[in-house]
Amino acid sequence: MLILLVVLCLLGFIFGRLRWRRCTWTFYGLALVLFFAAGCGPLPALLLKWLQAPYATRPTITWAQRNAIVLLGSGTTRVVGTHQVEPNIFANGRIIEAYALYRSCRQGGNDCKLVISGGDAFRNGVAEAVAYGEVLKTMGVAGSDLLLESRSMNTWQNAQFVQPILKEYAPEQTLLVSSAPHLNRASLFFARFGMDVIPVRGDYADVRMTYWPNGWNMTLTDFAVHEYIGVLAYHFYNMMGWNAPPSRYGAP
């Protein structure tokens, strides 16, 4: 959003120097409208509605004999003044939901593996999968039930690198845990690699309607736009034949 606002203002300035006043005020006006629409809440609320609505209600899970819970990482943070690398603040909801599902599965006497996917995208020296796994072990998840995928740097690679892990484990059902706005794109990518997943949200983004723009709404606008761009890029790559061909789960 910041880049777009800067570009609109820059265009307004350039046309102003050229004395094209109508274009100048058009770009300045667009920047002002966009700033208030995003910062006050209407724009992110509209964008997030389509992304989150299908996942607002968590699904009722009937556990099978063999289950996989795939947890997607959202980043890590380095604690200042220490060597500690921990899940960032946006990961907590996902981790809690994954643990709750794992506990429910194990209490029913079923076999359950928690697959954590995420590399060191933030360059903190520890992969997301490793950092999240350490937290989940302190919460009571058995180390033998954790399967770590620590190479992926984006959602596409999450799906790409988790696929062989699931092929080897061969679960009867797979749950996919991520943030509500992210689940649409994540499910799309996992389906591309032949994995039939049940999406479960770890958190839900809540817009704050205000009379004056605030940073939270701007952040949610960026988050939502990022997801839309990701989906559009996926379909464009499909059209151009640049994506890996679809694969069928269980195929060699």
Taken in order of first residue, the domains within the chain and their CATH numbers are 2-40 (no CATH), 52-209+212-240 (3.40.50.620)
For residue 82, the SS3 value is coil
pLDDT tier, 249 (very low <50, low <70, confident <90, very high otherwise):
low
Return all residues near 91 (Cβ < 8 A) that are at least 6 apart: 73, 74, 75, 76, 128, 132
pLDDT mean across residues, the chain: 94
Determine the pLDDT at residue 81.
87
Separation of alpha carbons 239 and 247, rounded Å: 17
Task: At 85, list the tokens.
Answer: 């690398």
Lowest mean pLDDT among 14-18, 109-113, 125-129, 156-160: 14-18
Determine the pLDDT at residue 246.
81
Return all residues near 5 (Cβ < 8 A) that are at least 6 apart: 31, 34, 35
Separation of alpha carbons 51 and 55, rounded Å: 8
Return all residues near 166 (Cβ < 8 A) that are at least 6 apart: 68, 70, 115, 174, 195, 249
- Find out whether 167 and 108 touch, Cβ atoms under 8 Å: no
pLDDT surpasses 50 at 251:
no
pLDDT digits (tens, 9 = 90+) for 190-223: 999 999 999 999 999 999 999 999 999 999 999 9
